[in-house]
Amino acid sequence: MRHETLLLEIGTEELPPKSLLALKTAFAENLKKALDARQFNYSDVAAFATPRRLAVIVTACEDVQPEQLIQRKGPKLSAAFDSDGQPTKALNGFLKSCGITDPNLLEQEETEKGAWVLYRSTQAGATLSSEIQGMLIEATATLPIAKRMRWQRYRTEFVRPVRWLVALYGKDILDCQFHGRTAGAITYGHRAMSGGDPITLSHADQYEAKLEAGFVIADFEKRQALINEQLNAAASARSAIAADDPGLLEEVTALTEWPHVLSGDFDPKFLAVPEEALISAMREHQRYFHLRDAAGELQPSFLTVANLDSLQPEQVIAGNERVIRPRLADAQFFYNKDLQKPLEDALGQLNQVVFQNELGSFGDKARRISALAGIIAKSLGTNEAEAARAGLLAKTDLVSLMVGEFPELQGIMGSYYAKAQGESSVIADSILGHYLPRFSGDELPSSMTACAVAIADRIDTLVGLFGIGQPPTGSKDPFALRRQSLAVVRICIEAPIDLDLMALLQASARLHTAECETAPVMAYILDRFENLLTERGAKWDSIRAIRARPSGIHNLWTALQDIKSLDRFRETDASALVITAQKRVQNIIDKAEPSATGTINPAHFNVPVEAQLINCITSIEAVRTESIDIRLANVADSAETIDSYFKEVMVMDENLAIRENRLNTLSHLNQVLTDIAAFNLLQ
């Protein structure tokens, strides 16, 4: 048995940078699974990836599987030997199939159904070289490839054309093939810097070092750290700070084999364009990192990550400076053109842009958002007209040239354009803020007006899509309704805003031309509410107890206060009595026949606690419109009476009148309790 390094490298044409990390990880994980399934032991698995290769190194890998135990079941013992003790035809057949002749090599297995003939043997384990082909297929079959392709006249598909294959075990080449390539010991270095000549590996352990000599850093993380270091150094050299952009860093790492950070300048006149647009132009088009000075001001310069250590870096810099100029000129052109377009014209253009076939244009949507935002503002006591105006303008930048070019600037540009045309800063900020929160953990809109628009936009989408029968399913949520609901929940409970969501959903439904039912939307939002609170450590059953009140939840903010109060109540001694009692009450009511009258007649009381309980019910009812804390305090005060009632009173009395009277009492108690919370749902 040997313990050597196993190296697999698939050489390709340039791989898609945004999936390179996922490909790297999946290739290594899949190979690991294939080794484990075959019981090849090893000490460690390391994954490598550059634009032109995916590789895995397995250290101290065994080259032979453990001996395999083979166990074969033969005929029933009774059918194995004839009356003379001679092997039957059946047994001879079995012996032959096992490749033996001597019946003494057989064993017996006793089971409940009788004894059976058994043959046990061992077989030498398979070798790495015989298994490598199968493992390579398994390791590559399920890679996360968005679009597979064909090339030349091959019929097979892979992420990009395969150009070479390395399969080494120590010094030995393992025999395998991949997309028409036969494994060898030859890899290739950097296209330009190593001259494209083949690099021969005489041992798998040489992989990283030989590639590095060929100007390729095969280790993704090492390359990423190197770029980060160079970015910071280049920024410091200009007394500036480089953009902290992990997504971009990952992408440039996936685009380079021998990274080299260079810095260039652009004409400061472009700084008149909103910085978000400049940053988008640099990032999206050129993969540049922008720079800021210590005060946070954007600098007229950039960092780019070249894929070579150029003989004349000034030429690479000059080239990049030449490219960014027209890009920024375009941004400036878009900005100036957009500024000239009156917002009213943009509103008109929105009528031409489809939001959703059955739900009309973005113009229609803007008018609905406006109406809803007004309603919300009114109920929050903030400026109604301003919210309605902000809602109307919220989508106007969708028809701007800048957002057409850089969709990620939606909201941001609208805010600039509104401000430039004399809209109030609250309106401008709301156009920007109504997209918040964009993701879990993102910030919330900053003003009540922005919150109103943010909620109006999302409620309109939710009610509309549910209304036309397109609620999200487990796998399909093209309008991101899940995220939009979560945004509504977060704004309601974190901003916070005191809003009757149910009434708002109904108002939204009336604004749609389609028939929209609101109950499923409310239920969907409440499910998100429940999940979010549970994730944050709230007691699941407290939420359910509040949600299960006959009046349900209409207002997330007050519901959250109720849940918190209920949680506090649950820490009191009285709560256990109340919870147990209401469970009993619910049980009895569920089993009993529905009462004919429903009235309670004190004439039928014959135990003192019965009247006391009525007093409790009355006092709980008396504070019905008070805060939940006061109501719960009354419940707590009644806890002992309720508990005594069950100890002293036999509800299912033989006397029908008494029994009904008691059932009516409990039914009434149940009503006043569940009006506060469904205590019976608490654990």
Partner 1 sequence: MPKVDTFQDLILTLQQFWAAKGCVLMQPYDMEVGAGTFHPATFLRAIGPERWSAAYVQPCRRPTDGRYGENPNRYQYYYQFQVVMKPNPENFQELYLESLIHLGIDPAVHDIRFVEDNWESPTLGAWGLGWEVWMDGMEISQFTYFQQVAGLECFPVMGEITYGLERLSLYLQGVEDFQQLVWSDNGQGQPVSYADIFHQYEVEMSAFNFDLADIDGLFQQFDYFEAEANRFLSAGLPLPAYEYVMKASHCFNLLDARSAISVTERQRFILRVRTLARGVGASYFETRRAAGFPLAADSDRAFVLKGLIDAS
List contacts with partner 1 (CB under 8 A). 13-18, 51, 147, 149-153, 155, 160-161, 163, 191-193, 196, 255, 286, 304, 306-308, 310-312, 315-320, 322-326, 329-330, 333, 352-354
Question: Rounded distance, CA 314 to CA 319, Å?
Answer: 8
**Minimum gap (Å) between residue 329 Cβ and partner 1:** 6
CB of 52 to partner 1, least distance (A): 9
Q: How many residues does the chain have?
A: 683
Cα 563–Cα 569–Cα 572 angle in degrees, nearest 5:
155
Q: Is 286 exposed, middle or buried, given 0-12, 13-18 or 19+ CB atoms closer than 10 A? A: middle
* Shorter beta-carbon distance to partner 1: residue 41 or 156: 156
Q: Which amino acid is at 323?
A: V
Backbone angles phi, psi at 291, to 5 degrees: -125, 145
**Cβ proximity to partner 1, 258 vs 679, nearer residue:** 258
CB 545, CB 679: distance < 8 Å: yes
Q: Is the separation of the CB atoms in 537 and 553 below 8 Å?
A: no
Question: What token pair was written down for 115?
Answer: 């004894």
Give the shortest CB-326-to-partner 1 separation in angstroms. Answer: 5
Longest CA pairwise span in the chain (Å): 111
**Least Å distance between CB 556 and partner 1?**
36
Question: Burial letters for 304-334: b for 16+ Cβ neighbours within 10 Å, e otherwise?
Answer: bbbbbeeeeeeebbeebbeebeebbbbbbeb
Closest to partner 1 by CB, 66 or 161: 161
Smallest separation, CB 307 to partner 1 (Å):
5
Alpha helices in 421-447 (DSSP H): 425-433
Q: Which of 588, 679, 586 is nearest to 636 (CA)?
A: 679
Alpha-carbon distance of 324 to 331, in angstroms, equals: 11
Which residue lies nearer to partner 1 by CB, 405 or 460?
405
- We find the least distance from the C-beta atom of residue 148 to partner 1, in angstroms, to be 9
- Residue holding tokens 């919220």? 394
Q: Of the two residues 2 and 322, which places its CB atom closer to partner 1 in the complex? A: 322
CB closer to partner 1 out of 12 and 415: 12
- Class of residue 193 by CB neighbours under 10 A (exposed 0-12, middle 13-18, buried 19+): middle
Q: How far is the CB of 266 from partner 1 (least distance, A)?
A: 12
Cα 531-534-535 angle, rounded to 5 deg: 85
Q: How many alpha carbons lie under 13 Å from residue 196 in its C-beta half-sphere?
A: 3
- Smallest gap from Cβ 212 to partner 1, in A, equals 18
Work out how close the CB of 510 gets to partner 1 at its nearest, in angstroms, rounded to a whole number.
Answer: 26
Least Cβ distance, residue 322 to partner 1 (angstroms): 6
Tokens of 574: 């009285």
Nearer to partner 1, 104 or 152 (CB): 152
Give the angle 511-459-418 at the CA atoms, nearest 5°: 85
Nearer to partner 1, 312 or 473 (CB): 312
Residue 220 Cβ vs partner 1, minimum distance, rounded to whole Å: 17
**Closer CB to partner 1, residue 3 or residue 18?**
18
Residue closer to partner 1, measured from CB, 153 or 647: 153
Phi, psi for 265 (deg, rounded to 5): -125, 160
Q: What are 632's two structure tokens? A: 């719960």
C-beta of 215 vs 605, nearer to partner 1: 215
